[in-house]
Amino acid sequence: MTSVLDLAPVVPVVVIEDAADAVPLARALVAGGLPAIEVTLRTPAALDAIRAIAAEVPDAVVGAGTVISAAGVADAVAAGARFLVSPGWTEGLLEAMKASGVPFLPGVSTTSEVVALLERGVAEMKFFPAEAAGGVPYLKSLSGPLPQARFCPTGGISLGSAPSYLSLPNVGCVGGTWMLPADALAARDWARVESLAREAAGLRAPATG
């Protein structure tokens, strides 16, 4: 599979309360040009949502987010997750993700954590919580000494700030929720979600010159 970091400029970070919403939501995101969908394991419906998307939306690349245990890894992969994302990592969680057979993005927020993962042969990571942990200036400062590390920053990123992240050489994509406004989800306004997804899919790094 193509690296998760290279599927689209934005990975929607989805919290699904009702598994019945999973398929129409995923179809709207895919139609808008965002095929990589991170369903967070924060609700009882999450695994059923992943299962439904994997079975019924073939153009989606559905992954599991907020993976924090080996059991979570096993459950997510069994449900059909094609990639895994964690907010942080431990040795045990890292080993479980490595053994899962699917791509994974362990979460980091410090230089030492990045170096520790590189030492273990992992070069693709989630930078979380992006804005609170230093944002664009912090990631830019890492690109010099640690150019081999690539990131998907997530946490507090908006339509307005995403291009600044995408301009960095060590950022492949960003994670975000702005294309999933609460009122649109409550109203099941999938057309609006698709429109916002299309806007996000068109994001590019700002021109320099």
What are the tens digits of pLDDT across the range 78-107? 999 999 999 999 999 999 999 999 999 999
pLDDT score for 146 = 98
User: Mean pLDDT throughout 128-157?
Assistant: 98
| pLDDT bracket for residue 204 (50, 70, 90) | confident
pLDDT score for 206 = 61
Instruction: Please give the order of strands across the beta sheet that includes 36-40.
Output: 104-105, 84-85, 61-65, 36-40, 10-14, 174-176
The radius of gyration of the chain's CA atoms, rounded to the nearest angstrom, is 16
* Whether the predicted pLDDT of 207 surpasses 80: no
Provide the annotated active-site residues.
Answer: 38, 126
- The two tokens of residue 3 are 């690296």
pLDDT digits over 155-183, tens only? 999 999 999 999 999 999 999 999 999 99
| pLDDT bracket for residue 209 (50, 70, 90) | very low
Q: How far apart, in whole angstroms, are the C-alpha atoms of residue 169 and residue 115?
A: 18
